Chains A and B, each alone.
Chain A
Amino acid sequence: MALVNGRYVVLGFLDSVLTTLILGEAVSGTAKLIVIVTIINLITAFMAEYIEERASLSRIEKSLLRKRGSLLRTSLHRRAIYDALIKGLIFGVVSLVGASVTEFSMGILEFFGIPIVPLIVLGGFGTLMSKYFRGNAILWFMLYIVLGLTVSLLGHVINSAY
Chain B
Amino acid sequence: MGGIRRVVLDVDIPSNISTVELAEKLGRVSGVKAVNVTVTDTDVEVLGLIVIVEGDGINYDEIKRVIEDLGGAIRSVDQVIVGEYILEVNPQLIRER
Q: Say yes or no: B45 contacts A75, CB within 8 Å.
A: no
Does B68 interact with chain A (Cβ within 8 Å)?
Answer: yes
Give how many B residues have a beta carbon under 8 Å from the other chain's beta carbons: 14
Most chain B C-beta atoms within 10 Å of own C-beta, residue among A64, A66, A71: A64
Interface of A is mostly: helix
Does B69 interact with chain A (Cβ within 8 Å)?
Answer: yes
Known: A76-B14, A76-B17. A63 touches B46 (CB 8 A): yes
Q: Say yes or no: B68 contacts A74, CB within 8 Å.
A: yes
Q: Say yes or no: B45 contacts A76, CB within 8 Å.
A: no
Q: Say yes or no: A63 contacts B45, CB within 8 Å.
A: yes
Give how many A residues have a beta carbon under 8 Å from the other chain's beta carbons: 13
Which residue of A56, A62, A66, A75 is within 8 Å of B70 (Cβ)? A75
Q: Once bound together, how far apart are the Cα atoms of A63 and B48, in whole Å?
A: 11
Chain B 1-42, CB-CB to A under 8 Å as 1, else 0, gives: 000000000001010110000000000000000000000000
Count: A-B pairs, CB below 8 Å: 35
Q: Once bound together, how far apart are the Cα atoms of A59 and B46, in whole Å?
A: 10
Does B71 interact with chain A (Cβ within 8 Å)?
Answer: yes
Does A138 interact with chain B (Cβ within 8 Å)?
Answer: no
Which residues of chain A in 21-80 are interfacial with respect to chain B, using CB atoms and an 8 Å cutoff? 56-57, 59-60, 62-66, 71, 74-76
Q: Across the interface, which residues of B come within 8 angstroms of A66, CB to CB?
A: 73
Q: Across the interface, which residues of A come within 8 angstroms of B44, CB to CB?
A: 63
For the complex formed, measure the closest distance between the CB of A154 and the CB atoms of chain B, giving whole angstroms: 41
Q: Once bound together, how far apart are the Cα atoms of A76 and B14, in whole Å?
A: 9
For the complex formed, measure the closest distance between the CB of A84 and the CB atoms of chain B, giving whole angstroms: 14
Most chain A C-beta atoms within 10 Å of own C-beta, residue among B43, B71, B73: B71
Q: Across the interface, which residues of B come within 8 angstroms of A76, CB to CB?
A: 14, 17, 70-71
For the complex formed, measure the closest distance between the CB of B45 and the CB atoms of chain A, giving whole angstroms: 4
Which residues of chain B in 38-66 are interfacial with respect to chain A, using CB atoms and an 8 Å cutoff? 43-46
Q: Say yes or no: A71 contacts B45, CB within 8 Å.
A: no
Q: Once bound together, how far apart are the Cα atoms of A71 and B46, in whole Å?
A: 14
Which residue of A57, A64, A75 is within 8 Å of B73 (Cβ)? A64
Most chain B C-beta atoms within 10 Å of own C-beta, residue among A57, A63, A66, A71: A63
Q: Which residue of A lies closest to B67 (CB)?
A: A74
For the complex formed, measure the closest distance between the CB of B76 and the CB atoms of chain A, giving whole angstroms: 13
Q: Once bound together, how far apart are the Cα atoms of A130 and B44, in whole Å?
A: 32
Q: A63-B45, A76-B71 are in contact. List 5 more A-B contacts (CB 8 A).
A: A60-B14, A60-B71, A64-B46, A75-B70, A76-B14
